[in-house]
Structure 1
Amino acid sequence: MRKFVESYDHLEVGMEATGHYWLSLYTFLLDKKMKIYVLNPIQTDGWRKGTEIRKRKTDIIDSVLIADLIRYGNFLETTLASEDILSLRNLSRFRNYLTQSSSDLKRKAISVLDQVFPEYETIFSNIFGKTSKEILLHFSSASDFEGITSNQLSEALEQFRMKRFAESKIQKLSSLAKQSFGIKYALDSFTIQLKMIIEQLNFIESQIDHLESEIESILGRINSPIVTIPGIGPINAAIILGEIGDINRFSTPAKLVAYAGLDATVSQSGDYISTSNKMSKRGSPHLRTAIFNAAFIASNTDPVFKAYYLKKRAEGKHHFVALNATARKMCNTIHAVLIHNKNYELKN
């Protein structure tokens, strides 16, 4: 770069916040004291559609488009979040990945268990509870329970937390195993899978616990009033704060609603105006899901949100349409609480 400019003083750099690639370059250029504009890819895509007639997309063309947008366009710069907020976003997104992995493993475990001991689930209300998982680590098929000896039972119980509860369940499973129609063909291959799945589940769940502890520690340092809003616990708070970043980026609640993708699409041409517009679903899907979850909880527990939800239902709105309206109200509340940095108060 020194070949083209003598100093960086008057140099401005634009980049898209795409994936994870931009952050390393951003921190490097920031260390050089350079002026940097971080743009949302949606903005550059909109600029492309307004300036490009032909459908062309290469790295060189994208670079020129970004440069032109900075020179001539009316763009909104993406603000880099504080270190704690960025940590919340990273940790909450990774927690989401782990919970999805846990769900995948549970589905696989159920699939295997349905083949080797389909009657097993009738004994437990939750087959992934602590005692059930402890049992499955020792006895993974109907044959294991059917042929269990008193010595094997005693040795296994020594490693269980709730010994009497586990012994009662194992005895019931042993009776069921004698009449089970679980497969016996290639049984070892299935039991190995099941044990490994349970081991992975235990490991992932311990990681999730560790992440949640770290998230709560960061939230304690931030001391945000967002946790006073109904339906927003530590996990939802971490996701929402991490995805929003600096609330001052959103001058109005409507802009936060749009960023969460909770706004309605607009379809109009001449005298035609669509009356059945769908949710745009632009912006952050993590933020949208967290706000939806918060709105659902609040619509059942908080008088104000519940009354608003029921009002929409009384107007003939479908459950999800009413919930979407409640989620937009949740956005407005979040914006007000964060902008004014004041706790949520229930209005009589």
Structure 2
Amino acid sequence: MFYAGIDIAKHRHELCLVDETGKPVLQIFIENTHKGFEKLLQAINGLEVAPDGVRFCMEATGHYWLALYCHLKELDYKVSVINPIQSDALRNLYIRKIKTDEKDALLLAEMLRLGLAPEANLASETVMKLQTLSRIRIEFVHQIGALKNRVLGILDRIFPEYPKCFSNVFIRTSKELLKRYCEPEEIAELDISELTGFLKQHSRGRLGAERAEQIQALAKGTFGINLALDAFTLELRLMVEQVEFIEDQIAVIEEAINQVMEEMRPSPDTPYRHVLETIPGIGPVLAAAIIGEVGDISRFPNAKALVAYAGIDATVRSSGQFEGTRNRMSKRGSPVLRNSLWLAAVSARRFNPERKAFYELKCSQGKHSSVATGAVARRLVHLIYSLWKENRPFDPNYTWSPTNPNG
């Protein structure tokens, strides 16, 4: 048996092959191309060994490992993919701090030879679709948040009273007003009947003369600056248009997510597409994100393993007679999964009576709201694991009975 460690990079990878004793027998670099892959195969064929006689190990470095992984799996090679955190931990065992591509490749081969790198398998195509769509959606949501903060920053300069005009600066009527009349002076000089008509049109009749008079009065008495006003108003209009553009893109992504989730419906007569959607606090978008990050639930032996994978488990500090009491959330797992579970917990503590009672109990014990929400998230993971593993929908009369009350 031979063990090959591959240090992944963007343009070329470093490969180190060792035998069962750990002795290096081959060390080459391969380009991240078809030509480089052929070079790898020729080197392996020179050893005159079958595909089951060679195992590969590589780090999940960005997305650069994916192509090589897929091509190796197509030829029935066993491939292990590890988190860089794992290899860093082993590298730190050595006294001398040496980090080169050759050393890293040898380290990966040794991890494989010692049985520290289990074989990896890619998720199904459906799961990969959900993962890709959910991640880009989250990225776009974060972009919108940043753009909205810039819009509010501009308004603080030129029209600080504007947020008082609407319940939310970013409702449809408000955005249309900011795109059409960027300067407070324009609103102040506008005929009140024209402003009233504009508001009625874009609010579908919900806003009228009273709101128009309020907005105009605030515009006339604004404490905003006039310095570089044309530049600020241009930026304001462009930022609002950018928010709307990304919101439209998010709607397209969510429609694509719904189509993929529809593929997972057990049968046409089933009212839900996945058991996760039956849990209060988890809708199609959050369900898709969780499924995309978890993949196959059967790869987790228990709910605690899923909690750890999400990074919502507590860190443990203990030495001798010392026991740490201020333990924090580890945050060592999937950030997308952790964020999705957190949002689901926030929703569950409002709409699920059992979760709400548990959250209020934690708060009554002096726990901070964030700590109590984290506890709700961990309990929610236990429920998710149970329902998903058994493929049964949520039952409102379900009673959670943990083996560990603090789990």
Normalised TM-score (structure 2): 0.78
Q: Which of 108, 133, 147 in structure 1 is aligned with 2:189?
A: 147
Q: Quick check: 2:158–2:225 contact (8 Å CA) kept in 1?
A: yes
Q: What is the rounded CA distance, in whole Å, between the counterparts of 1:179 and 1:315 in structure 2?
A: 49
Matched, 1:62 2:101: no
User: Structure 1 CA distance, aligned partners of 2:96 and 2:153?
Assistant: 50
Residue equivalent to 2:403: none
Mapping of residues 226-305 of structure 1, within 5 Å = 226-305=276-355
Match of 1:174 in 2: 216
Contact preservation (8 Å) 2:123, 2:295 = yes
TM-superposed CA distance for 1:299, in Å, is 2.2
What is the CA-CA distance between 1:286 and the residue it aligns to?
Answer: 1.4
- Residue 281 of structure 2 contacts residue 345 of structure 2 at CA under 8 Å; is this kept in 1? yes
Find the aligned partners of 1:152 and 1:24 in 2 and give their Cα distance: 59
Task: Give the structure with the larger strand fraction.
Answer: 2
Unaligned runs of 5+ in 2: 1-39, 265-272, 400-407
Give the superposition deviation at 1:291: 1.1
Gaps of 5+ in 1: none
Q: Which position in structure 2 is the counterpart of 1:27?
A: 70
Contact 1:131 1:162 in 2 (8 A): no
Q: How many residues align?
A: 347
Note the C-alpha offset of 1:166: 6.2
| The one of 212, 219, 224 aligned to 2:261 | 219
- The one-letter amino acid of 1:67's match is A
Question: How far, CA to CA, are the matches of 1:291 and 1:164 in structure 2?
Answer: 36
Q: In structure 1, how many angstroms separate the alpha carbons of the residues matched to 2:360 and 2:224?
A: 48
- After superposition, where does 1:111-122 map in structure 2 within 5 Å? 111-122=153-164
Counterparts of 1:194 and 1:108 in 2: how far apart (Å)? 8
* TM-score for the superposition, normalised by structure 1: 0.90
Could you tell me how far apart the structure 1 residues matched to 2:71 and 2:98 are? 30
Moved more, 180-189 or 70-79: 70-79
Distance in structure 1 (CA, Å) of the matches to 2:329 and 2:71: 38
Instruction: State the shift of 1:276 in Å.
Output: 2.6
8 Å CA contact 1:146–1:178 kept in 2: the answer is yes
Contact 1:43/1:75 (8 A) holds in 2: no
Q: Is the 8 A contact 1:299 1:305 kept in 2?
A: yes
Does 170-179 or 136-145 show the bigger shift?
Answer: 170-179
Q: Which amino acid aligns with 1:274?
A: G
User: In structure 2, what is the Cα distance between the partners aligned to 1:206 and 1:235?
Assistant: 16
Q: Distance in 1 between matches of 2:360 and 2:68?
A: 49
Q: Which of 380, 384, 395 is the equivalent residue of 1:330? A: 380
Shifted more, 250-259 versus 57-66: the winner is 57-66
RMSD between aligned alpha carbons?
Answer: 2.5
Residues 265 and 277 of structure 1 are in contact (CA less than 8 Å); yes or no, is this contact kept in structure 2? yes
Whether 1:340 and 2:379 are equivalent positions in the alignment is no
83, 88, 106: which one pairs with 1:40? 83
Distance 1:269 1:164, change over 3 A: closer
How far, CA to CA, are the matches of 1:265 and 1:150 in structure 2? Answer: 61
Deviation at residue 34 of structure 1 after TM alignment: 2.7
Give the conservation status (yes or no) of the 8 Å contact 1:79–1:246.
no
Matched, 1:49 2:88: no
Which moved further from structure 2: 270-279 or 192-201?
Answer: 270-279
Give me the identity figure in percent. 41
Q: Note closer, same or farther for the CA distance 1:191–1:55 as it changes in structure 2 (3 Å cut).
A: same
- 217-226 or 169-178, which moves further after superposition? 169-178
Change in Cα spacing, 1:92 to 1:166, as seen in structure 2 (3 Å) is farther
Residue of structure 2 equivalent to 1:79: 121
Summarize the Cα distance change of 1:77–1:335 in structure 2 as closer, same or farther, 3 Å threshold: farther
Shift of 1:230: 2.0
Q: Is the helix fraction higher in 1 or 2?
A: 1
Task: Give the residue type in structure 2 aligned to 1:98.
Answer: F
Q: Which moved more, 1:182-191 or 1:203-212?
A: 182-191
- 1:75–1:304 Cα change, 3 Å: farther
CA distance in 1, matches of 2:193, 2:253: 39
Deviation at residue 198 of structure 1 after TM alignment = 1.0
| 1:78–1:345 distance in 2 versus 1, CA, 3 Å | farther
Match of 2:130 in 1: 88
Partner Cα separation in structure 1 for residue 156 and residue 367 of structure 2 = 40
> What is the letter of the counterpart of residue 63 of structure 2?
H
Deviates more, 1:6-15 or 1:85-94: 6-15
Once structures 1 and 2 are overlaid, which stretch shifts more, 143-152 or 193-202? 143-152
**Matched position secondary structure for 2:56:** strand
